[in-house]
Amino acid sequence: MSVPASKTKYAKLLAYALPEAIDSSEAHLRACAEVKKLLNKDGITPEEKKLAKLLTALIVAYEKEKFPYLGNASPLDVLEHLMENQGHTAKDLWGVIGDKGTVSKILNGHRGISKLQAKQLAKFYGVSPATFI
């Protein structure tokens, strides 16, 4: 059972973070960095989880508007696109989402991307986990 978020603590966190609609690539990068920071934190609070969820929704909305062609892309298509743009090879993902065999199966379409792997890829590429689901 999860602990409910405190409205007072969440309000303070919102006042600090000042989340707003994302309208530029710079704002997108800042929001992605904030989500990455929250998701990498040990002992994330319920309020921080709630903020990460809100920021992820804002990121997804921006990405859908800015990159509509990705809406029809599969998670594998998106992964391949990010790998190409970053100059990554399968070897670069070995420590991120599994061993050589797991990465090979995913990139060859023989295995889907799990929710855990989606989170790990999101941290690695600085995007929303929803990108890979």
Whether residue 37 lies inside any domain: the answer is yes
**CATH code for position 98:** 1.10.260.40
pTM score above 0.75: no
Which pLDDT score, from 0 to 100, does residue 29 have? 85
Residues 15 and 46 placed together within one structural domain of the fold: yes
Place 2 in a pLDDT band, splitting at 50, 70 and 90.
Answer: low
Place 81 in a pLDDT band, splitting at 50, 70 and 90.
Answer: confident
Phi (first) and psi of residue 113, to 5 degrees: -90, 120
The domain of 110 spans 72-132
- State how far Cα 36 lies from the chain centre: 7
Q: CA separation (Å) from 5 to 12, 48, 50, 58, 63?
A: 12, 9, 8, 20, 27
d(CA 12, CA 17): 9
Residues 13 and 34 placed together within one structural domain of the fold: yes
Tokens of 90: 């399968």
The stretch 111-118 carries a mean pLDDT of 93
